[in-house]
Structure 1
Amino acid sequence: MGHVSKRLYSSASKLAVSTSQLKQFPPKEAILKPDSGKPNFFDPESWATLQPPPTSALTAFAHRIGLANVLSSADVVRRACTHKSFVNLHAKYYPSSPTPPTNANLATLGNALMGLFASEHLHAAYPHLPTRVLKAAVSAHVGPLTCASVAQEMGAVPLLRWHRQPTTPTSPALLHSDALASIPRAITALVYQETSLQSARKFVKSFFLSRQVDLRSMIKFRDPKRALIETVEKFGHERPKSRLLRETGRYSNSPVFVVGIFSGQDKLGEGFGSSLKMAEYRAAEDSLHRLYLTRTPDHLLQVPSSTFPSKQGNIYKTGSEAPYTPGVLGEAEILYASSGRSNIVAPKRLTLEEIEAKREGLDV
């Protein structure tokens, strides 16, 4: 068996179905006639990419993700799994054939819907979450890598039709994960078009928003003690004070100190460490995490998009909107350690000594 034949069988084995489902295998382009005298430039990878997935695989995919009533035809599923980069490859090998429909418009609409659902859900669930952390949490839930991972779990990898593209002056390189991420976005748009906004939100919540994301690791402070002082002052509570709660091995080579931070009689947080400074640092950080990661109970969680009707129709008709009780808006995050890389010049901040002197009425 020649090198081209080996590559042909290897590429064909990566298809969604066996080669027995194809109309002709090997294809006539791969067969070299002995009397032709011309070199054969057949590309097995490109040929395997151009083969459409069978109807049975597309139908099984729709039933597997529970959207058989929405993705009712194989053409709709095939369009959702066809990336716009596939058009150039198809036109190169089949210039006279009609251009296959792609999921470009659907992916754009689905991406906007997923961003809307994730933003309102996280803002309602964590009303005190800082803006930068909220953006990072949205990307963690419905970002490109998450969409590609969900598409892989759905079993959409064999159904994807795309073509790798190198980096150009106007666009970055197209990777497999980028093309794969367009499938869940396109499906979200199809659910929205065929049913309602509520159904699309339910689909995104089931596959994306139900996942656990470690938000605690996203909140970092250079000086949590100072950030805590400004936060407590903003809410109008007493100045936080550190108290040693427990200790062991002070004069040994492995001491452990447990420090708590209190605002009046209220305990804000607790931390431990091998030194008092480390324990106080962790206690201040724990206090900020308790504030920013305060979660709204699920039975009280409501989002603005829940006002839309659950069925298709005119949303402006009287009585078509669902009841909605807006939640309490959280306080904006403190200025310290939250300005990011913006060009806004922040005002000069007072030092801890200046803040203490200002409280005592002294000139600074």
Structure 2
Amino acid sequence: MGYVHKRLASTAAKLAVSPSSARAFPPPDAISNPRAFDPETYAALQPPPASSLTALAHRLGLGRVLSPTEVQQACTHPSFVTLYQKHYPNEAKPATNGNLSTVGNSLLGLFASEYLNASYPHLPLRVLKAAVSAYVGAKTCASIATEIGATPLLRWHRTTATPLKPALLLPDALSSIPRSIVALVYQHRSLPITRQFVHDLFLSREVDLRAFIKFRDPKKALKETVAKFERERPVSRLLAETGRFSNSPVFVVGIYSGADQLGEGFGTSLKMAEFRAAEDSLHRLYLTRTPPEQLRLPSSTFSPSPSDLYTYKPPKGSKLEYVAGELGMEEIEYASGGRTGLVTPPSS
């Protein structure tokens, strides 16, 4: 085997392309004009082996739901069409995941939004949007595509930035694979099964929502929040201290509204401890979570089968019956992250 053949075989192996699935191996161009032949482009144009596509479906538990052709479509980005037609202009365009990715992205946003809104009714809107992106955003989808082993199966073509479109990078193309798979599950099954698939693959992950809630002045934000709930004005109390006259003192401060303790914080100064206690009080409010046994999702009202979508009514008392939860208090925008901190005077 010559140098060109060895390089071609190694490149095909790295890109998960089987020589048996290629059009002609080795291709005639590699023998007739080895200097102009690009093995990486040739390997990128070849379809992945059916065994790899079937293995991906079985890793997701969808071996009996998705066919290798559908998995291949889910792994083919629309940018691949330009590269394919450039080298094979007389052949039909390959099926891409453009429409599937759009439908899957909408389903992911629906399931994540209703789950987070029902689980955390007091969560501020900007934090809710950030949490949805953290659970089902582009970076998360690209990370999941890497976890399930879909990277070698991706067929795409890198594009540069234009005045109308940003540059297409590998994470952008990878994020379309999980979205397309969600759309295929919805196409073959029903909305409740798709929701369960999304909960198992996406929403079962732990995301620290405390990192999304930042306040420039949590004491003032807490004061306005307590007033909106018509509770007593918050008061700071020193709970414990040690080493006041040493180089490393520690103070523990609690914030109370009447007899109820709202939060607690510590620091090397009273001001720092009071700041953290106010921040902890706001975190406890905004991150109050609905118990799992009381969690009801609006999409649970949909029928398990598409045939009786508009006539299906869940039996009373069942888990499928949707009972709307209480609306959370409107958020306090003053002194939260991204705000100016200016208080608008009330209109006369």
Superposed, 1:65-104 pairs within 5 Å as: 65-71=60-66, 73-104=67-98
Question: 256, 276, 286: which one pairs with 1:282?
Answer: 276
Q: CA deviation at 1:341?
A: 6.7
Q: CA deviation at 1:337?
A: 2.9
Counterparts of 2:219 and 2:196, CA distance in 1: 41
Per the alignment, residue 333 of structure 1 pairs with: 331
Identity value in percent? 64
Write the letter of the residue equivalent to 1:336: Y
Contact 2:18–2:48 (CA under 8 A) maintained in structure 1: no
1:286-321 alpha-carbon deviations (Å, 9 max, x no partner):
000000011111111111011101122131115368
Superposed, 1:165-204 pairs within 5 Å as: 165-204=159-198
Write the letter of the residue equivalent to 1:24: A
Per the alignment, residue 362 of structure 1 pairs with: none
Per the alignment, residue 355 of structure 1 pairs with: none
Counterparts of 1:93 and 1:305, CA distance in 2: 46
Superposed, 1:38-117 pairs within 5 Å as: 40-71=35-66, 73-117=67-111
Contact 1:32–1:40 (CA under 8 A) maintained in structure 2: no
Write the letter of the residue equivalent to 1:14: K
Q: Calculate the TM-score normalised by the size of structure 1.
A: 0.89
Counterparts of 2:238 and 2:312, CA distance in 1: 61
Counterparts of 1:330 and 1:287, CA distance in 2: 16
Structure 1 gap ranges (5+): 34-38, 350-364
Q: CA deviation at 1:271?
A: 0.5
Counterparts of 2:4 and 2:128, CA distance in 1: 51
Q: 1:18 to 1:302 in 2, by over 3 A?
A: same
Counterparts of 2:62 and 2:18, CA distance in 1: 25
Q: How many residues align?
A: 341
Superposed, 1:270-349 pairs within 5 Å as: 270-319=264-313, 322-338=320-336, 340=338, 347-348=344-345
Write the letter of the residue equivalent to 2:140: T
Q: Calculate the TM-score normalised by the size of structure 2.
A: 0.93
Secondary structure of the corresponding residue to residue 255 of structure 2: strand
Q: 1:123 to 1:148 in 2, by over 3 A?
A: same
Secondary structure of the corresponding residue to residue 26 of structure 2: coil
Secondary structure of the corresponding residue to residue 306 of structure 2: coil
Counterparts of 1:106 and 1:157, CA distance in 2: 18
Counterparts of 1:346 and 1:225, CA distance in 2: 14
Superposed, 1:113-124 pairs within 5 Å as: 113-124=107-118
Deviates more, 1:204-213 or 1:313-322: 313-322
Counterparts of 1:61 and 1:25, CA distance in 2: 25
Secondary structure of the corresponding residue to residue 175 of structure 2: helix
Write the letter of the residue equivalent to 1:62: A
1:94-139 alpha-carbon deviations (Å, 9 max, x no partner):
0001101100000001001100110000000000001100000000
Structure 2 gap ranges (5+): none
Write the letter of the residue equivalent to 1:309: S
Per the alignment, residue 148 of structure 1 pairs with: 142
Q: Which has the larger radius of gyration?
A: 1
Deviates more, 1:200-209 or 1:12-21: 12-21
Write the letter of the residue equivalent to 1:144: A
Contact 2:255–2:277 (CA under 8 A) maintained in structure 1: yes
Counterparts of 1:165 and 1:346, CA distance in 2: 46
Counterparts of 2:280 and 2:105, CA distance in 1: 34
Q: 1:339 to 1:347 in 2, by over 3 A?
A: farther
Q: 1:254 to 1:302 in 2, by over 3 A?
A: same
Write the letter of the residue equivalent to 1:203: F
Per the alignment, residue 216 of structure 2 pairs with: 222
Counterparts of 1:320 and 1:282, CA distance in 2: 46
Q: CA deviation at 1:32?
A: 2.9
Q: CA deviation at 1:328?
A: 1.2
Counterparts of 2:311 and 2:115, CA distance in 1: 26
